[in-house]
Amino acid sequence: MHGDLEQRNIVWCQQRGLAAIDPTPCIGDPAYDAAYWAAEEQEAGGLEERCQSLATHMALDSWRVHRWALIIALAL
């Protein structure tokens, strides 16, 4: 897992496209990173919509992403 996936840690690379930088590496559920992004990013749509979209693009279980996002949102 990246462990700290938020907007300031995403950059555009000419060769690879979007890339995540400055990780706080950890072992855990891959749905957590998507949920962290969904809970942290407040600009586009609602939380459930962001979770569904990220889960689809990252081939993750949307239920797990949404449940993690709810927990993370409580801590923000």
Does the pLDDT at position 62 exceed 80? yes
DSSP states of 22-73: S-----S-THHHHHHHHHH--SSS-HHHHHHHHHHHHT--HHHHHHHHHHHH
CA dihedral 56, 57, 62, 66 (to 10 degrees): -140
| Total residues belonging to the chain | 76
Give residue 71's domain range: 7-75
Q: Is residue 1 part of a domain?
A: no
Give the count of domains, the chain. Answer: 1
What's the pLDDT tens digit per position in 24-48? Answer: 888 999 899 889 888 887 666 789 9
Q: Taking the model in full, what pTM does it have?
A: 0.75
Is 32 a member of any domain?
Answer: yes
Q: Specify if 2 maps to a domain.
A: no
27 inside domain: yes
Q: Count of alpha carbons within 13 Å of 58, Cβ hemisphere only?
A: 21
Rounded mean pLDDT, 38-66: 87
Which has more pLDDT, 63 or 42?
A: 63
